[in-house]
Amino acid sequence: MTIPFIDSHAHLNLMPPDSPPAQTLERAKRSGLVALVNVGTDLERSRESVRLSETLSGVFATVGLHPGDADQWSPEIAQEFLSMAGRDRVVAIGETGLDFSYDAPSREIQELSFEKHVRLAKERDLPLVIHCRDAFERVFSILKTHSLPSRPGVFHCFTGSWEEARKALDLGFYLSFSGIVTFKNAEYLRDVSRRAPSDRMMVETDCPYLAPVPFRGKTNEPAYLPETIGVIAHERQENPGTLSETLIANTRTLFALPESA
Ligand SMILES: [Zn+2]
Ligand SMILES: [Zn+2]
């Protein structure tokens, strides 16, 4: 059975040469994909995201610097992001955030870039796509000391505890679950997916990374997302089709996607 779904976080432009964006998207559409948010990670990849969103139907874009590329931040880049963020198909700022599993860029540089992105999101009133690893405390304190956009955003590829999930939800954020929720050792995350409020959840591939079971170890692609939805539906004792409709509605709301997409 094919269920409709939205991939809330993908990197079609990072797929290997044998899976070009248009073909990967076609395969996903045959598997039920109705829309996809392609996420920028640095300046060039943000430009690519915008190009994809303006050439492939059902694709939307975000622009921003991944914490691993935070040292690229400059006033010129800020100007270009601000201008790209005004385009119709650009629906969020990110991925930004903090990843303290990296030694470089330094924490100071990552925090500076993250704060600039929060201000940019507020200025354009676009939601934030947050990448947070080993850094929840700092991410929360930065978010609490800034004014946030009217739709604050999403913690993408959420891998925190239920306590951290609660804090993100209290700040008005959504939680997006990736293929990690299907991994054998991720019982804690399945627990979070059971407890999460149904109006604040989304799903994503983060492709080409993090393929769900039974594709683990392969290049991930949006066509595999129904596996992740199936596991969450099982955990929540919901019908996968009904759950997916809820996830689609949530994703449309957060990113203000048009109904036709
Ligand atoms: Zn990420
Ligand atoms: Zn990503």
Domain ranges of the chain: 95-102+119-255
Q: Give the distance (Å) from ligand 1 centre to CA of residue 109.
A: 17
CATH superfamily of 95-102+119-255: Metal-dependent hydrolases (3.20.20.140)
Q: Give the distance (Å) from ligand 1 centre to CA of residue 156.
A: 7
Distance, CA of 118 to CA of 65 (rounded, Å): 12
Distance, CA of 85 to CA of 6 (rounded, Å): 21
Pick the ligand that lies closest to the CA of residue 68: 1
Tens digit of pLDDT per residue, the chain (261 long)?
799 999 999 999 999 999 999 999 999 999 999 999 999 999 999 999 999 999 999 999 999 999 999 999 999 999 999 999 999 999 999 999 999 998 899 999 999 999 999 999 999 999 999 999 999 999 999 999 999 999 999 999 999 999 999 999 999 999 999 999 999 999 999 999 999 999 999 999 999 999 999 999 999 999 999 999 999 999 999 999 999 999 999 999 999 999 876
- Contact present, 29 and 51 (Cβ < 8 Å): no
Asked whether the CA dihedral 5, 7, 13, 14 is positive or negative, the reply is negative
What is the distance, to the nearest Å, from the Cα of residue 88 to the centroid of all Cα atoms in its chain? 19
Pick the ligand that lies closest to the CA of residue 67: 1
